[in-house]
Structure formats: structure tokens, C-alpha cells
Amino acid sequence: MQKPITEIVIVGGGTAGWITAGLLAAEHNVDKGVLAHDPKLTITLIESPDVATIGVGEGTWPSMRSTLSKIGIDENDFIRQCDASFKQGSKFINWRTGSQSKVTDSYLHPFSLPHGHQELDLCPYWLPHAEQVSFAEAVSSQEVLTQLGLAPKAISSPQYHFQNNYGYHLNAAKFSQLLTEHCTQKLGVTHIRDHVSQIINNEQGDIDKIITKQHREISGQLFIDCTGAKSLLLGEHLQVPFLCQKSVLFNDRALAIQVPYSDANSPIASCTHSTAQPNGWIWDIGLPTRKGVGYVYSSSHTNDIDAQQTLFNYLGVDGAAADKLDPRQLTINPGYRAKCWQNNCIAIGMAAGFIEPLEASALALIEWTASTLAQQLPPNRIVMDTIAARVNERYQQHWQQIIDFLKLHYVISKREEDGYWRDHRESNSIPDSLQAMLELWRYQTPSQHDISYKEALFPAASFQYVLYGMGFNTQLPTHVKPSMQQLAQRLFNDNQQRTQALGKNLPSNRELLDKVAQYGFPKL
Amino acid sequence: MSQHVLLNSIDHKDLKVITTRSAALGDNLWFSLTFPQEFRSVQAHYPIFFHKDTATGQFYSVALFGFQQNDNVFLSDQGWSASYVPLTVRRQPFLIGQQTVLEDGVERQQRVIHVDLDHPRVSESEGEALFLPYGGNTPLLDEVGEILEVIHHGLQDGQRFVDALIEYQLLESFTLDIELDNGQKNQMIGFYTINEETLAGLSADALAKLHQQGYLQAIYMTLASQSNVRDLLNLKNAQG
């Protein structure tokens, strides 16, 4: 009988390492919230005391709710301990033209799918009304509700349930801390604080064991690389090549800072704000206690001094106040490893790849890879390559879609600045796949048929929200069936009514978070 | 509108309270809060369910009087037809207030009786007196004080009871579909009851813990009270 895979070694902590540990333990070692007496997997996480985590990464997708639930973390504990707030999508400001025109240049890419999406794709039926109402407002209630600063649910909703789909904004360091405690105290994960000094292979070229600075020998059958940008195992040791995407998505620097609110009761924004800038864009994430702001930019188009000035202009600070600020600079290498799984090593998180956080895809990819590994854990080494091959295939499809989708935001912009914004529209920087889709979308709206594989990261609706938020022009359908027109009208009206009802009953974000602090969401 | 004031024998020496039961006096209630200490008496007449407060997401035990808002099948021109009226109904128009007092130089919180002067039960002319001619409490007022104390402690214990039910996953939501003899249909949603399957599967440890806290009895009282739904239905049908 083949030796089953039971010894898992995760190298690296941070959100990648601990979410992976949590999901593996939850899938294989825990039943109905109780850790098995003799767990199937031995999970060891080695974390270097000499290497800091990246320290940013504060926006999640809605998938995080089911990830936390699966790992067994109570939503109230999570919100209270991680300074979390509710994220209902991303708001893009000044991406269309950036000029001070009469029309506000902003649109929302909400997390909720369009109303009635199981019955009908409303997008083509909205097209004739593009001048009167934005796509997001016509098909979802989140456009209006996020503008009003309202929360996605009320205190009486059970944990992780929603009125409108939501993810979170959170404090990354506190999140890692919570995950570490939960995994080590409740899920039986072994935590070793030590630095990797050597990686030893066996004769087949698999990783056999890790030697640490304090002379520990840690053997394993499956190694998970969560070492961040260093990609110590997959990139450095196993030499899996890196596919740089700088020619497509230029941003390779970030300047990040935390900013307090002027008043303890300032409203908390319902979504991540992304404001376009001369050479990149600025993220703005509202936690209950402070905001996280960062300028993501291209070092080929601007320099660090000018970038800092752009950030300070956004914050509205100058002179003496600006001198007190100490933003943190990060270097980003946009791109991903050709494979995430090589031999008996899989990379999760930044060790596999990284791209600018324009759609907060980093944590979502961690969740996808970790849950895929947990659900498809190879039974033994012989069949590991078969499973690795299909995980790699899906991984490559996800990355290709991320690159295309992020590039889309830039390609259809009409911002006039020389250099950066015009360069983004140069055809040699646009992937062929995206060019083909853009041509198709001139004549028909994005649909599920554009995506040839199942369980894509971004559904067709995401492309619709961005395309039409940016004011893209698609030819109107020539023939519309009356019965479908009627159905569409009913769905539009339903959405309006639902929006109004929710607008009356939902609390503001701060009100809801105060109630969570006091009462917590009920379990049912 | 309500006007809650601290009850005192000076300002309120002539205040009276009407103790009969009627819709005009605010008794036309769909349900009222109850708590384990009272379950034994409540379960003899009323179904006991649980209700979620939408303002806080917290659950409370409730005694059911009818099938919709402003529908108390026990209430008629003859008064309230059951021999036991739950304490949170009987306490009207009084409620507990908190007062900070200085005792030996130390600030202390004290529970005091408040009365809602705008409540229809409050009168200067009709009903029973609260204070004696020379300022002492009447037996009625003393009884009110006791009722309020029992409710105060009872609700605190009730909160712990509900926490225990949630901890052992014993609460489940349910929908009550009623069809009256006259064909009228009612659907009650937003109420919760005890999941008997989960209850039957509890470990010896869990049962022992619940028993120690007195909650095992409360659970069975709750289950026993469910047969009163049929009585409510009969009373409702008799109203025509």
C-alpha cells in the first residue's frame, strides 16, 4: 500500500500560512468543531522570527466569510479582534476621465451579483437606459446603499449571513495574530519559531526535510511555501520560473500609511476606495479606528518624491503636517510563478505571485489555493503529479483572468495624461485575450460564455460592472423578445423596491459595529 | 407616548392604578416576555416560544397570547380568561429604574420603582391606591415591588438560559401556519422553539450541566407548553 500523505510542513506564517493551516486542519482533522483524538494530518508551521510579514493586505472578498466559518472562527470574535469593518465592493473614482466634469467620475464594483441573475442576465436590457441610470444602480442595491454609508446587514442577522453580499476590511497584523492563536490552540497546528537555513531534497528531487538555524530537522511529505515574495522553496530552491507582468500592469511600488479619523464617530466607508492618480492609483480602506491609505504607482513613470507628494495631496496635508508623516515604501514585483505546484511543494500567497491590489485579489487567491489543496489533498505521492497538474492549470487560468481583468480597468479609461495612462492603452501592453474580448464586447455584453472553465475567480458580472462603470460603449441589441423585456422590467422594479426597503431598515456601518461590540451577531 | 417618573409618596400620593384587564388598558398583547422561574405557571395556559429582538439580535422567552399583533385570545369583555397572568403583563404601568444613591460616602446603584404617568391604568379617580393616607405603601404597591424584583432577576436568569440553549444548539426557527374555522389563514414567523432531536442527542455531561442550572426543567416546561397552541386556536375560533 502506498504511504498516505499525512505530514504537512508549512514554511512561513502571515495570512497565507495560517489560513492554509486552518483550512487543512478543518478539512481533515476536525469534525463538527471538535479536533480528532488521532488527527489524520500532522501540520507544522515554521515561522522565522527574523522575517516580518508584509503587513498590508486589508481587503477581503465575500469568500472570507465561508473561510472563517470553515476554520471555526466566530464572526464576532473576528470583527472585535481584527478591527474589522464591512466591505461591499470597490469604488473607482476618477478612472473614466479624471476631469472635473459635471458628471461625477465614480462607479461601484459591488460584491452582490445583479438582481435576478439566476432568472435573467439583465445587462443587455439595461443598455438602452445607460444615460438614465448606471448599471450598478439598476441591477443591485449596493450602489445606493454604500453611498448612504449603510451596512450590509442588521444586528439580528445570524453570523456570516447577509442582506447584501460582503467581505471585510481588517487589520492584517491582528488577523495573523487571531489565526495563529486559533490554529495552535484549537486546531492542533504545531508552531515552530525558527529560521530555515537549509532545504534537503531526496533522490527523486522532492523536498525531504528542512534544517533550521537552531538545528531542528523537520521532515515532511508535502511542503507549502508561504514565504512571501522570497518564494524560498518554489522559486529559489525548486527554480520555478517567474512570469513578470510589468509590461502589462506597470505598478511596481506602493507607499502605504495609516491615518486616524478626525473624529471618533466619523462614518466608516462601505467599500474600498480606489482613486486614479497621474501614475497609478490610491487605495483608501476604512477600519473603525483608522484608515489605511496607499499609493500604488509605476517607478518607470514617476519617482518616489513625486509619488509621496501625490499621496500627501490626496490626504490634504502639506508643510509641517506632511513632515510628521512616515509612509512605508514597498516594492512589488508584479507577476506569478509559471506553476504553483512543483514536485511535492505548493506555493500559496505571495510566494506564488503578486499583483497590485486593484481588486483585492491576493487574499482571495490564498483562499482558493488553500481550499483547493485541502479538498484535493493527494492520497499519496504517486498520484500527486496528476493532482498538481490540474491545480496548476486552474491556477494559470485564474492568473490570466486576474491580469486581463485588472488591465481592463486601465485600457478603457479616457484619462489624458501622457506617459502612464496613454501607455496603458498601447496595444503591445494588452494581452491578446483581453483584446479579443474587448472587440466582442463592442457588439454584445459580457456573459458567462466568455469564461470557458468553471468556478472562475471573477464572474461575468464583474466584467459588466467595470465595463459599464467605465462608460464602455456596446451596440444595442437589435431584437428584444417582449416576454423577456417584461421579465427584465419586473426585475428592475424589484431591485428598486428592495433598495428602498433596505435603505429604511439597514443601520450605518458604525452603528452596526457598535452593536457587534455590545451584543454580537446571533448564531441563528 | 410614555412618561416614566420615579414613584414617590409625595408627588404621587393620590395616584391610583386600575387593575382590571382590558384592551383599552393595554392588554391586547400578542405575546409578553417570560423567564424560567415563571415557566411552571405560564406553561399551564400559554405556549412558550422564543423571539429574536431585531434591535439587538438577542433572544427572549415569550408567552404567546394570540397569532398576530394586537390579538390576545384570552381577553374579552369579561377580562382575562386564564387564572395566571404572566408577571411582565401584571407589572404594568410600573417598571424598574436605576438610581444612584450615596451610602456611607460610596455611590451605589439601587433599583427603584418608576411609573408611566401616561399609561391608561394610571388615574387619580379610579382604581386602587398606591400609598396610604399617611405615606406608607399599600399592599398593592408592595406586591408591585416584589413583582419587579422577580422580573429583574428572572430576566437575567432567562438570558443565561437562552445562552445555554444557543450553546447546545437547541434553538431552531419555525413557522406556525394556522387555519381558522372561518377559513382565515395566519402565518407566524420570527419565532423559535427547542429542537427535540438535538435535545435527545445531548451528552450526559451536557444534560447534567443543564440540570444543575435548573434549565432542564425549563426546557421540558417549554416543550409541554406547546400543547397550549391548540387551546389558543380553540379560543380564537370561539371568538368567531
Among candidate residues A83, A236, A109, the one with its CA nearest the CA of residue A174:
A83
Whether residue A513 lies inside any domain: the answer is no
Q: Give the total residue count for chain A.
A: 524
pLDDT for the residue A102? 59
- The closest alpha carbon to B58, from A505, A160, A155, belongs to A155
Closest CA to A273 of A471, A147, A93: A93
The answer to whether A51 faces chain B, any CB pair under 8 Å, is no
Check CB contact of A32 with chain B, cutoff 8 Å: no
Number of domains in chain A: 3
Who's near A101: CB < 8 A, 6+ residues apart? none
- DSSP letter assigned to residue A150: B
Expressed as residue numbers, the domain containing A283 is 253-331
Task: Tell me whether residues B58 and A521 touch, CB distance under 8 A.
Answer: no
Minimal CA separation from B205 to chain A, in Å: 16
Whether B57 and chain A come into contact, CB under 8 Å, resolves to: yes
Fill in the DSSP letter of residue A241. Answer: P
C-alpha distance from B53 to closest chain A C-alpha (Å): 7
CA distances to B38, B43, B92 from B65, rounded to whole Å, are 16, 12, 16
- Do both A71 and A196 map to the same domain? yes
Last residue in a domain, options A398, A413, A444: A398
Report the distance separating Cα A332 and Cα A352, nearest Å: 13
Q: Is A160 on the interface with B (CB under 8 A)?
A: no
- pLDDT (mean) for A367-390: 98
Same domain? For A415 and A493 the reply is yes
Are A54 and A188 contained in the same domain?
A: yes
Domain ranges of chain B: 20-90+140-230
Q: What is the 3-state secondary structure (H, E, C) of A155-167?
A: CCCCCCCCCCCCE
- Take residue A348 and report the three cell numbers written for it: 500559496
Confidence of residue A101 (pLDDT cuts 50, 70, 90): low
Q: Does A154 touch chain B (CB under 8 A)?
A: yes
Question: Which DSSP category does A92 fall into?
Answer: E
A523 touches chain B (CB under 8 A): yes
Strand partners, A225: A11, A347
User: What is the C-alpha to C-alpha distance for residues A90 and A364, in angstroms, rounded to an integer?
Assistant: 14
**CB-based contact B56 A155, cutoff 8 Å:** yes
In this complex, do A156 and B57 lie within 8 Å of one another by their Cβ atoms? yes
Query: Is A476 among the domain residues?
Result: yes
Query: Is pLDDT at A477 greater than 80 in this prediction?
Result: yes
Share of chain A above pLDDT 90, in %: 92
Residue B178: closest CA among B231, B119, B109: B231
Give the pLDDT mean for B132-151: 91
Q: Which of A34, A13, A348, A69 minimizes the C-alpha distance to A181?
A: A13
Other Cβ atoms closer than 10 A to A7: 16
Smallest Cβ–Cβ distance between B173 and the set A154, A521, A524 belongs to: A524
CB B28 within 8 A of CB B70: yes
Residue A348 predicted with pLDDT over 70: yes
Q: Is A517 on the interface with B (CB under 8 A)?
A: no
Q: What is the pLDDT of residue A321?
A: 80
Mean pLDDT along residues B212-218: 95
Q: Are residues A59 and A204 in the same domain?
A: yes
Task: Point out which residues pair with B61 in neighbouring strands.
Answer: B50
- Write out the three cell numbers for B38: 415563571
- pLDDT above 90 for B109: no
Residue type, A453: Y
Q: Looking at the predicted structure, is the pLDDT value of residue B111 above 90? A: no
Q: How far is CA A94 from the centre of its chain?
A: 22
Pick the closest to residue A464 from A141, A136, A225, A222 (CA basis). Answer: A136
A179 and A71: one domain? yes
Residue A54's pLDDT is 80
User: Considering only alpha carbons, which residue of chain B is nearest residue A522?
Assistant: B57
What residue spans of A188-274 are helical by DSSP H? none
CB contact under 8 A, A519 and B59: no
Chain A nearest CA to B169, separation (Å): 9
Residues of B in contact with A515 (CB under 8 A): 56-57
Inter-chain contact B57–A520, Cβ cutoff 8 Å?
yes
| Predicted ipTM of the assembly | 0.81
Q: Which of A440, A429, A449 is nearest to A467 (CA)?
A: A440
Which chain A residue's Cα is nearest to B52?
Answer: A156
Chain B environment of A156 (Cβ under 8 Å): 52-57
Q: Residue B152 — φ and ψ, nearest 5°?
A: -55, -50
Residue of B54, B59, B169 lying closest to A154 (CB–CB): B54
A195 and A312 in a single domain? The answer is no
Q: What is the pLDDT of residue A99?
A: 72
What distance in Å separates residue B6's CA from the closest CA in chain A?
28
Whether A394 and A405 map to the same domain: the answer is no
Q: What mean pLDDT do residues A272-283 have?
A: 96
Residue-wise over A455-469: b if at least 16 C-beta within 10 A, else e? ebbbbbbbbbbbbbb
Nearest to A284 by CA among A298, A269, A299, A297: A269
* Residue A370's CATH number: 3.50.50.60
Give the other-Cβ count within 10 Å of B229's Cβ.
17
Which residues from A are below 8 Å from B191, CB to CB? none
**pLDDT value at residue B99:** 84
- Whole-number average pLDDT of chain A: 95
E strands, A287-425, are: 290-297, 328-331, 335-337, 341-342, 345-347, 353-354
Q: Residues A379, A2: contact at Cβ < 8 Å?
A: yes
Q: How many CB atoms lie within 10 A of CB A247?
A: 12
Contacts for A207 with CB less than 8 Å, ≥ 6 apart: A199, A200, A201, A220, A223, A233, A237, A238, A343, A344, A345
pLDDT of residue A55: 76
For the segment A220-230, what is each residue's pLDDT rounded down to a tens digit?
999 999 999 99
Average pLDDT over residues A395-422: 95
Predicted pLDDT at A100: 62
pLDDT tens digits, one per residue of A430-467: 999 999 999 999 999 999 999 999 999 999 999 999 99
Angle between helix A384-411 and helix A460-469 axes, rounded to 10 deg: 20
- Residue A95 covered by a domain: no
Taking only the tens place, the pLDDT of each residue in A49-100 is 988 888 787 999 999 999 999 999 999 999 999 999 999 999 999 999 987 6
CA angle, A455 then A457 then A462, to 5°: 110
- Closest-approach residue (CA) in chain A for B167: A523
Do A393 and A411 fall into the same domain? no
Q: Write the pLDDT tens digit of every residue in A182-229.
A: 999 999 999 999 999 999 999 999 999 999 999 999 999 999 999 999
For the segment B197-220, the average pLDDT, to the nearest whole number, is: 96
pLDDT digits (tens, 9 = 90+) for A103-130: 689 999 999 999 999 999 999 999 999 9
Residue A55 burial (C-beta neighbours within 10 Å; 0-12, 13-18, 19+): middle
Residue that the C-alpha cell 388615574 belongs to: B123
Q: Give the distance, in angstroms, between the CA of residue B96 and the centroid of all CA atoms in the same chain.
A: 14
pLDDT tens profile B47-106: 999 999 999 999 999 999 999 999 999 999 889 999 999 999 999 999 998 888 888 888
* pLDDT (average), residues A305-312: 94
CB atoms under 10 Å from CB of B109, counted, come to 9
A157 touching B (Cβ < 8 Å): yes
Q: Which helix (H) or strand (E) holds A218?
A: strand A217-219
pLDDT above 80: residue B218:
yes
How far B85 CA lies from chain A's nearest CA (Å)?
29
d(CA A353, CA A364): 13
At B38-53, the pLDDT tens digits run 999 999 999 999 999 9
Q: Per-residue confidence at A496, pLDDT binned at 50, 70, 90?
A: very high
Distance (Å, whole) CA A54 – CA A42:
27
Q: Is A149 on the interface with B (CB under 8 A)?
A: no
Give domain status of residue A340, yes or no.
Answer: yes
Is B57's CB within 8 Å of A524's CB? no
Q: Is A102 inside a domain boundary?
A: no
Q: Which residues 164-193 in chain B show a CB within 8 A of chain A?
A: 166, 169, 171-173, 192
Say what the pLDDT of residue A323 is.
79
- For the cut 70, the answer to whether the pLDDT of residue B141 exceeds it is yes
Under an 8 A CB cutoff, do B57 and A155 touch?
yes
Please tell me the distance from the alpha carbon of residue B32 to that of residue A131, in angstroms, as a whole number: 53
Q: Are residues A154 and A196 in the same domain?
A: no
Distance to chain B for A58, nearest Cα, Å: 28
Q: How high is the mean pLDDT of chain B? A: 93
Helix (H, G, I), strand (E, B) or coil at B8: coil
Q: Domain boundary residue among A375, A398, A421?
A: A398
Do A483 and A393 lie in a common domain?
Answer: no
pLDDT digits (tens, 9 = 90+) for A9-60: 999 999 999 999 999 999 999 998 899 999 999 999 999 998 888 878 799 9
- Of A276, A305, A331, at which residue does a domain stop? A331
Q: Are residues A157 and A173 in the same domain?
A: no
Looking at the structure, tell me whether residues A28 and A132 fall in a common domain.
no
